[in-house]
């Protein structure tokens, strides 16, 4: 029902977001079918997470990027609802702190990486450094970079270096056992408007809305250009991007869950094998327990 290759950005491809339909529904005819599919996937993810933890060989890093109101929080909540909280950690990266600005832009993400056997979720990530800073290059001046004294210093060579740094960072992660899955929730401008209005009209969702959201909406076209350049330069063979249609939340959640489960299954994870000596020890303990009075 969900063809992953249709959602994956191939390495070296020049990307146009207009080529990806945000209202795409795959082969699902009904919302109910997608919800049932997600329910089955959640059960599968629960089992896969258990063996991921037990095998203690890989970590899984999930990166979520999107425009405001695309549904990142809801996707994380629903897709990971069956995951054991002890094996999962979520980080939401917002405006860098004073301490974080004293380090390179990857530092705060690096120290939040999941250890082997665990799933780490980045709700926004270091990719903000080639998205928000691309639209608002003046933010880079706060980083006091050696080669950036004014906005004019932020040229094509600067972004090329950042793309290379990110690709090398992710390649290092992959080579050392951290699987990286990257998702862009592709919501349309019209659907974002509808969701903003819902947040305003529903008192229980008022807290989700900020005037900053409507200000950033004015830069929609610039953000789309930044995303396209980012996809074109950072969707690699080792860490490809997946552009997830997000106008229908029920489809985006089903698609994300399926991609995660498919990747974990491809690792062919196994529970640790117990030695013959250990088996003999367990058998002795078994007898002791059975013979307890």
Predicted local confidence at residue 274, as pLDDT: 84
Q: What 3 state SS string does the chain have?
A: CCCHHHHECCCCCCCCHHHCCCCCCCCCCCHHHHHHHHHHHHHHHHHHHHHHHHHCCCEEEEEEEECCCCCHHHHHHHHCCCCCHHHEEEEECCCCCHHHHCCCCCHHHHCCCCCCCCEEEEECCHHHHHCHHHHCHHHHHHHCCCCCCCHHHCCHHHHHHHHHHHHHHHHHHHHCCEEEEEEEEECCHHHHHHHHHHHHHCHHHHHHCCHHHHHHHCCHHHHHHHHHHHHHHHCCCCCCEEEEECCCHHHHHHHHHHHHHHHHHHCCCCCCCCCHHHHHHHHHHHHHHHCCC
* Averaged confidence pLDDT in the chain: 95
pLDDT at 215 over 90: yes
**Within 10 A of 84 (CB to CB), how many other CB atoms are there?**
13
Tell me the mean pLDDT in the region 178-203.
96
Residue 123 β-bridge partners: 64, 92
In sequence order, what are the residues at sequence separation of 6 or more whose Cβ sits closer than 8 angstroms to the Cβ of residue 163? 130, 230, 233, 234
Tell me the mean pLDDT in the region 121-148.
97
Predicted local confidence at residue 210, as pLDDT: 85
Predicted local confidence at residue 13, as pLDDT: 86
Tell me the mean pLDDT in the region 207-236.
95
Q: For residue 293, what pLDDT band results from cuts at 50, 70 and 90? A: low
Domain boundaries of the chain, sorted by first residue: 4-290
In sequence order, what are the residues at sequence separation of 6 or more whose Cβ sits closer than 8 angstroms to the Cβ of residue 172? none
Tell me the mean pLDDT in the region 123-131.
98
What are the φ and ψ backbone dihedral angles of 156, each rounded to 5 degrees? -60, -35
In sequence order, what are the residues at sequence separation of 6 or more whose Cβ sits closer than 8 angstroms to the Cβ of residue 138? 151
Residue 88 β-bridge partners: 119
Residue 65 β-bridge partners: 184
The string of pLDDT tens digits covering residues 47-65 is 999 999 999 999 999 999 9
- The string over 203-226, giving b where at least 16 C-beta atoms fall within 10 Å of a residue's C-beta and e elsewhere, is eeeeebbeeebeebbeeeeebbeb
Q: What percent of the chain has pLDDT over 90?
A: 91
The Cα 128–Cα 60 span in angstroms is 20
The string of pLDDT tens digits covering residues 2-52 is 899 999 999 988 999 999 999 999 999 899 999 999 999 999 999 999 999
Predicted local confidence at residue 12, as pLDDT: 87
Which class would CATH give 4-290?
A: alpha beta
């Amino acid at each position: 029902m969900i063809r992953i290759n249709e959602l994956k950005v191939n390495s070296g491809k020049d990307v146009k977001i207009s080529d990806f339909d945000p209202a795409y529904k795959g082969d699902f005819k009904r919302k109910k079918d997608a919800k049932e599919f997600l329910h089955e996937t959640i059960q599968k993810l629960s089992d896969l997470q258990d063996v991921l933890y037990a095998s203690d060989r890989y970590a899984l890093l999930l990166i979520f990027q999107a425009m405001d109101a695309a549904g990142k929080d809801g996707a994380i909540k629903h897709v990971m609802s069956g995951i054991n909280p002890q094996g999962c950690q979520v980080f939401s990266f917002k405006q860098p702190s004073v301490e974080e600005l004293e380090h390179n832009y990857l530092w705060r993400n690096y120290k939040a990486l999941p250890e082997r056997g665990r799933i780490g979720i980045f709700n926004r990530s270091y990719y903000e450094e080639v998205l928000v800073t691309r639209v608002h290059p003046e933010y880079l001046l706060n980083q006091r970079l050696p080669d950036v004294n004014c906005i004019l210093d932020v040229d094509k060579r600067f972004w090329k270096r950042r793309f290379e740094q990110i690709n090398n960072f992710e390649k290092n992660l992959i080579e050392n056992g951290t699987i990286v899955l990257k998702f862009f929730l592709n919501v349309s401008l019209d659907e974002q408007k509808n969701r903003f209005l819902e947040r305003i009209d529903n008192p229980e969702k008022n807290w989700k809305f900020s005037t900053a959201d409507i200000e950033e909406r004015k830069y929609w076209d610039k953000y789309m250009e930044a995303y396209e350049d980012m996809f074109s330069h950072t969707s690699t063979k080792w860490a490809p991007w997946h552009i997830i249609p997000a106008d229908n939340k029920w489809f985006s959640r089903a698609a994300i869950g399926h991609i995660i489960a498919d990747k974990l299954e491809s690792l062919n994870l196994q529970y640790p094998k117990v030695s013959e000596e250990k088996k003999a020890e367990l058998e002795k303990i078994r007898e002791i327990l059975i013979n307890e009075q």
